[in-house]
C-alpha cells in the first residue's frame, strides 16, 4: 500500500514540476513546493505509519512555502526591472542636455502632399458608317470618355508629438 502512495506522490510531484512552463515565479514556486512537500510528507508519514496524511500535510506546507518564496522572487525581479528602467531614463535625460539628443516639444508642422484631380470629360464623337462582317452599322454619335487630370500639391497641418532628436 505504501508503495502505491509513494508512486502517486512521485507522479504528482513530477507533473507539478513539468507543467510550470507558462507560469509566474509564484505559481512555479507553489507547484514545486507542493510536489516536494508531498514527497517529503509521504516519506515522513511512511516512517510514522500514515503516509497519506503525511503527504497531504507536506503538500499543503510545501504549497504555502513555495508560494511565499516565488512571490518574493517575483517582487525582487520587478524591483530590479524598475531600477534598470529608471537608470536608462536618467541616462537618457543626461544625454539630452546638449550631448547628442535634443528634446523637441510637441508642435504643428506643415507637410506637403499631392492628390490627383480628375478632369476627365465625356466627348460626343461622330462615328462614320461602316460594315463589320455581314452587318452594316449606320453613322452615329458616341459618347467617349477623354481621360485627363493633374496632380495638385497642397500643405496639410500635422501635429508632431514631443520627442528626442
Q: List pLDDT tens digits, range 82-105.
A: 888 888 888 877 765 555 567 788
Clarify whether residues 72 and 109 are in a common domain.
no
Give the number of other Cβ atoms within 10 Å of residue 33's Cβ: 24
Separation CA 140–CA 127 (nearest Å): 5
More reliable by pLDDT, 2 or 126: 126
Last residue of one domain, picked from the residues 43, 65, 95:
95
Clarify whether residues 82 and 153 are in a common domain.
no
Q: Does residue 48 carry a pLDDT above 70?
A: yes
Clarify whether residues 23 and 82 are in a common domain.
yes
Q: Please tell me what DSSP assigns to residue 148.
A: -
Separation CA 147–CA 137 (nearest Å): 27
Clarify whether residues 56 and 122 are in a common domain.
no
Clarify whether residues 155 and 76 are in a common domain.
no
- Once rounded to an integer, what is the mean pLDDT over residues 24-43? 80
Clarify whether residues 88 and 107 are in a common domain.
no
Is this structure's pTM higher than 0.85? no
Clarify whether residues 109 and 70 are in a common domain.
no
Clarify whether residues 82 and 151 are in a common domain.
no
Number of domain units in the chain = 2
Q: Which has the closest alpha carbon to 38: 14, 70, 71, 22? A: 14
What residues make up the domain containing 19? 2-95
- Residue 31 pLDDT grade (very low, low, confident, very high; cuts 50, 70, 90): confident
Report the chain's mean pLDDT, rounded to a whole number.
82
Q: Does residue 142 carry a pLDDT above 70?
A: yes
Residue 53 is predicted with a pLDDT of: 81
Amino acid at each position: 500500500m505504501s508503495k502505491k502512495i509513494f508512486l502517486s506522490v512521485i507522479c504528482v510531484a513530477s507533473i507539478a514540476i513539468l507543467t510550470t512552463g507558462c507560469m509566474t515565479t509564484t505559481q512555479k514556486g507553489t507547484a514545486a513546493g507542493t510536489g516536494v512537500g508531498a514527497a517529503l510528507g509521504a516519506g515522513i508519514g511512511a516512517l510514522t505509519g500514515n503516509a497519506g496524511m503525511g503527504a497531504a500535510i507536506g503538500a499543503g506546507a510545501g504549497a504555502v512555502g513555495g508560494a511565499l518564496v516565488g512571490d518574493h522572487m517575483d517582487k525582487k525581479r520587478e524591483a530590479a526591472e524598475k531600477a534598470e528602467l529608471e537608470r536608462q531614463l536618467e541616462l537618457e535625460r543626461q544625454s539630452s542636455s546638449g550631448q547628442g539628443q535634443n528634446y523637441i516639444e510637441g508642435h504643428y508642422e506643415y507637410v506637403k502632399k499631392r492628390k490627383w484631380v480628375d478632369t476627365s470629360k465625356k466627348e460626343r464623337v461622330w462615328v462614320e458608317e461602316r460594315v463589320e462582317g455581314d452587318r452594316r452599322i449606320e453613322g452615329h454619335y458616341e459618347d467617349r470618355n477623354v481621360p485627363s487630370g493633374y496632380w495638385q500639391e497642397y500643405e496639410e497641418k500635422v501635429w508632431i508629438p514631443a520627442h528626442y532628436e
